[in-house]
Amino acid sequence: MKIPHEVLKIIEDIRTMRVRGAGKIARTAAKALIIASEEYRGTSLKEYLTYMELIAERLKNARPTAVSLPNAVNYVLSRLKKASMEPSSTLNKAKFIVRESANDFIKRSFEAIKKIGEIGSKRISDGEVILTHCNSTAALSVIITAHHQGKHIEVFATETRPKFQGHITAKILAKEGIPITLIPDSAVRYFMKDIDKVIVGADTVTANGAVVNKVGTSLIALAAHEARVRVFVAAETYKFSPATVLGELVMIEERDPTEVVPPEYLYENPEVIVRNPAFDVTPPEYIDAIITEKGIIPPQAAILILEEEYGWVLKDYFIKELNFAEES
């Protein structure tokens, strides 16, 4: 069972982060499943299922720390499995299910961003000053929707070291005509007195309501909490991690030192260790609410979203099933 070249390329792109951002990774993985399915040349439904599970596994391993990746893949695979258990299932029907559910995932992912914008923007009042960090599509959706509603808002964006995603955020907002100020990450507490609300995105939301997001988010949330400034996290529900219910720790990826210092510096100062964690963890006590496409929730209700989404969270058989999976 050969994996199609195009799918291999996608896996490589995710691994090397040519494709990045939790949402983009998820949608690209869904698309890869369609491609793999269409490229399948065999005639056995059973073989097809094994093939698709192999693809799914390879995709999930491409970036083991991104929760949106397995969530997207499982969205499709669970529907495929369920359908293939029916007596009337055929290979064609199975391929149809993959196509439909992958496209459905992609469509819902875009709708979620729009919906988060609609819901979240209601929490922004005319005249408010917003602080955001990094370059989150969901957070920007909230801000830009509020702007389109005619509210006069102003935004502060952190430059977001080491990769300066804040430069992109500032450019986008400037184009929308929103007054925008760019500041170094370390100036966050200095400007906090001028901020009315903090709105950031999320990479992963855990079972107990902690939010894993671009490094620096937890510092901003801490400084906001100190100044009674409310902190909102904009997160599509597929960023909620069911594995964390079972104790799984979210691994924090550490990236290449040369993102932080030029290679010469490392060469000239070989004893200097440079550490470059991509994310940090903001505890629920510093988050006022999470804005999802299904409504606004307190972080402690993340587990409710997980139960709604995955149906089996906190239920006995889930645990049994999972054990089974681990043993086989």
Instruction: With contacts defined by CB under 8 A, name the span among 7-15, 55-63, 78-86, 283-291 that binds a second copy.
Output: 283-291
Q: Are strands 211-214 and 129-132 parallel, antiparallel or unpaired?
A: unpaired
Residue of 32, 109, 284, 310 that binds a second copy (CB under 8 A):
284
123 makes contact with a second copy (CB under 8 A): yes
CA dist list (Å): 74 to 25, 36, 68, 71: 14, 15, 10, 5
CA dist list (Å): 261 to 61, 127, 216: 29, 39, 18
- Of the two residues 1 and 272, which places its CB atom closer to a second copy in the complex? 272
For this structure, is 280 an active site residue? no
Residue of 100, 104, 196, 253 that binds a second copy (CB under 8 A):
196
Going edge to edge, which strands form the sheet with 204-205? 204-205, 211-214, 279-282
Q: 């925008």: which residue's tokens?
A: 180
**Of these residues, 13, 126, 134, 288, which one is catalytic?**
134
Give dist(CA 210, CA 76) in Å, integer: 27
Give dist(CA 107, CA 119) in Å, integer: 18
- CB 89 → a second copy: shortest distance, Å? 26
Residue of 6, 46, 208, 263 that binds a second copy (CB under 8 A):
208
104 makes contact with a second copy (CB under 8 A): no
6 makes contact with a second copy (CB under 8 A): no
For this structure, is 203 an active site residue? yes
129 makes contact with a second copy (CB under 8 A): no
Instruction: With contacts defined by CB under 8 A, name the span among 15-23, 64-72, 88-96, 301-309 that binds a second copy.
Output: 301-309
Q: Is 276 helix (H, G, I), strand (E, B) or coil?
A: coil
125 makes contact with a second copy (CB under 8 A): yes
Residues annotated catalytic, as ranges = 134, 203
